[in-house]
A and B are shown apart, each in its own frame.
Chain A
Amino acid sequence: MTAVTVGQWTLWIALAIALYGMIASILGARQRVPELVESGRNAVIAIAALAVISSACLLYLLLTRNFQVDYVYQHVSTYLAVPYVISAFYAGQEGSLLLWLLLLTVAGAIAVVRRRDWNEDLLPYVGAVVAGVAAFFLLLLTTLSNPFKLLPTNPGQGIGLNPLLENPGMIYHPPTLFIGYAVYTIPFAYAIAALATGRVGSGWVRGIRLWSLFAWLFLGVGILLGAQWAYVELGWGGYWAWDPVENSSLIPWLVGTAFLHSVMMQERRGMFKRWNIALATLTFALCVFATFVTRSGLIESVHAFGRSPLGYYFLAFLVVVVAVTAALVIWRREELKSKHEMESFLSREFSLLVTVLGMVGVGLAVLLGTLYPTLAESLSGQQLSVGPSFYSRVFTPLGAAVIVIIAICPLLAWGKSSPQRVLRAMLWPGVMAVAFGIALALAGIRPLYAVLGFALCVFVFTSVLVEFGRGWLARKRMTGESYPVAFLRLVNKNHRRYGGYLVHLGVVILAAGVIGSSVYTTDTTISLRPGEAMQVQGYTLKYAEYAIQPTEAKQRFAVTLDVSKGNRSLGRMTAEKNFHWNIEQWVTEVAIRPGLVEDLYVILSGLEQNGLATLSVQTHPMVTWLWIGGGLVLLGTLWAMWPRSEKKRAAGRAE
């Protein structure tokens, strides 16, 4: 029982230290007492250390399968494989909150020890915010949501993990998302610190650039990994269902994207100061909201909300976050005035404003769609649901607009651009897009709005490539370097710009994948007897064999098909549908044959004792493009984050 005691007590001690650290940091900074500031910083490091110890205790209890601990009993069993035992750490509410605390405090500790000239004054407040947020999670962990709660007796066996969660996705998807959520605390902490000290200039936004890129990257990759997991494992034939839990992770990512773009305005032009404060706060609040949605029944029904007081704690916390920020913004309203004004609609500034409004608007649309049923129920008592058609109607035009802005924004200069110059830069992309669109339409591709969507993607893709090419040729001409050297030196000279371009390319490829897969997915349900063959969407599916056999964990139902297209054999595919004894549930194992053009996706829906099989045969065009686009976004973000060597940075300053 020692691990239980240690785990529990470290949380209580951490709560006390967090409260102390918050007060010490603020007092120390306001009264200018270096000893108190130092002590506050040490407190932040101490809570991180305590969170590590407490997490280690929970992990130890899980790995030793100590079923007397309620949380272990709920999520682990004696026959659960070790990787999934580790993943059980965040399979439930209590462990997830502990993981949040762990990631948040470790990020916070790293933030407060990275002392530089520019953040000397800000750091005490950063530490205070980290300690304050940690105190909130610690309060939940020590009272309502205690991961170390004991059962009266040791049951000897646990319930175990839901087999739907027994997928490699469970190991990497939730922690990736959680890292994104937790790290977004640091930009928020800097925003509050900037307001508290009145140093709301470009210093803080430049300082948090790496933090916000890091959080954005993890959040985005986490969302994509979740989509991929749903696609291969959950067996309903899609990667995105506009499910509240999925939506709640997308919303902070969209607002975080707006934030990444609006900080540029402050760095370069001293504008958008209020926007940046607001977006940093909003992104953080939405991350907390997402955690709460995932771990509570709020969205399904308001009644579930009332059942656990956890919801009220989260609501109160969000109210405090927003109220404190708003009060500080009003206090600092003079300092928050813009240094510059907009010059022209045809400027980088205005197009960035539209980008920010667009991303926040899409985020709010998703938030509204997610919350609407809950709001309607609590206001009028009427129960409603919002269907996917809402999201597709909002997303189609706004997505198209965002894509166009991606193409145009980098072409526009700060201040003012001449229309002739912009039109000239858009010439080749425009020609390519029109030619491509006409070619698709002539080839018989319909509907026309999808053709238009693809043409827009080509427009953006070409315009980004032209930007690359222009810089490349200009450099070669100026320096006389060979083509490869000129290219490498160019992209190495401005990581941020070329990383950003790579991200834009990735997003466009991803968008093309979304258009292709959402417009052209087909689904045919067929019934086959052993030996029979059928043609579906140009594929010939021949029923080769089936198996109905009990194993230790499950009753296995499997159908194997020989798949060919024309005269070309594509090999065998086995679709399964298994009844798992421990949870008395069916789990579908989809057979997928991925391809660049389309994935063939076969779900076994039913298998009778005589071998009669019902199969859902689906084609999902261009889903692979999502993963390729996501990979480019990852590479581009890493490139943008990659530090330049000291020598180059010094040279850059001297320039």
Chain B
Amino acid sequence: MTENRTEIPAKPRRSAKQVKFLAGGAVVILIIAYLIFSSMQGATAAYLTVREVKAAAPSDRLVRVSGTVVGDTIDWDAHNVVLRFELADDTGRLLVVYKGVRPDMLRDGATATAEGKMGPDGTFQATQILLKCPSKYEEKATEQAASR
């Protein structure tokens, strides 16, 4: 049925009309581009070192800090669901407080990335913790924990 309806003779008109549709398409593209770029603002978090995080004043800007979990500092309060641990990198150690469930892969030597803000009390208030295990498994060896 489609076969014989395919080619409807073209009108030999090449005109300012087409400019209208090009403009229409361009508007759509501009809207999408605007959405992408405006959404990118504020959705990114910069990676900082422990020293940089500590030096920064408390602010509302989300940052990420990566380091190694110091095993004997892990303090998991199951009743109140608060997790504290220290994160170490080449520049120092940082006390991270996370109100949420203890991630399974949190243990000594694991590489953790905490996303959050520096609190006024000098602790890092994490809203998200990502862990990468020092493991031989190449896939899915990351774990995500986020407080909603």
Contact = CB atoms under 8 A, between A and B. Distances in A.
Contact of A390 (B15, B40, B105): B40
A468 B4 CA distance: 24
A616 B101 contact: yes
Q: Which range contains the number of B residues in contact with the other chain?
A: 35 or more
B45 A655 contact: no
A80 to B, nearest CB: 14
A3 to B, nearest CB: 24
Main SS at interface, chain A: mixed
B135 A585 contact: yes
Interface stretch (A357-365, A469-477, A548-556): A357-365
B91 interface: no
A270 to B, nearest CB: 7
A102 B43 CA distance: 40
A625 B42 CA distance: 32
Contact of A385 (B5, B24, B64, B136): B64
A81 to B, nearest CB: 18
B148 A361 contact: no
Contacts of A234: 140
B59 interface: no
B78 interface: yes
A606 B43 contact: no
A341 B17 contact: yes
B55 interface: no
Contacts of B5: 268
Interface in A375-399: 382-387, 389-390, 393-394, 397-398
Contacts of B13: 341
B129 to A, nearest CB: 11
Contacts of B11: 341
A525 B101 contact: yes
B78 A608 contact: yes
B57 interface: no
B81 A385 contact: no
Nearest to B42: A389
A92 B136 CA distance: 12
A345 interface: yes
B25 A353 contact: yes
A361 B135 contact: no
A608 B133 CA distance: 23
A236 interface: yes
B104 A586 contact: yes
A372 B44 contact: yes
Contacts of A387: 43-45, 62, 115
Q: What are the 8 closest A-B residue pairs judged by CB atoms, nearest first?
A: A586-B104, A390-B43, A383-B47, A361-B32, A393-B39, A605-B101, A652-B1, A162-B137
Given A386-B40, A525-B101, 13 more contacts: A236-B146, A342-B21, A353-B21, A365-B39, A369-B40, A372-B44, A384-B45, A385-B115, A390-B40, A393-B39, A586-B104, A614-B81, A655-B1
Interface of A: 74, 91-93, 159, 162, 164-165, 202, 234, 236, 241, 267-270, 339-342, 345, 350, 353-354, 357-358, 361-362, 364-365, 368-369, 372, 382-387, 389-390, 393-394, 397-398, 415, 494, 521, 523, 525, 527, 577, 583-588, 603, 605-606, 608, 612, 614, 616, 652-653, 655
9 contacts: A236-B145, A270-B7, A270-B10, A361-B32, A383-B47, A386-B43, A523-B148, A585-B104, A616-B101
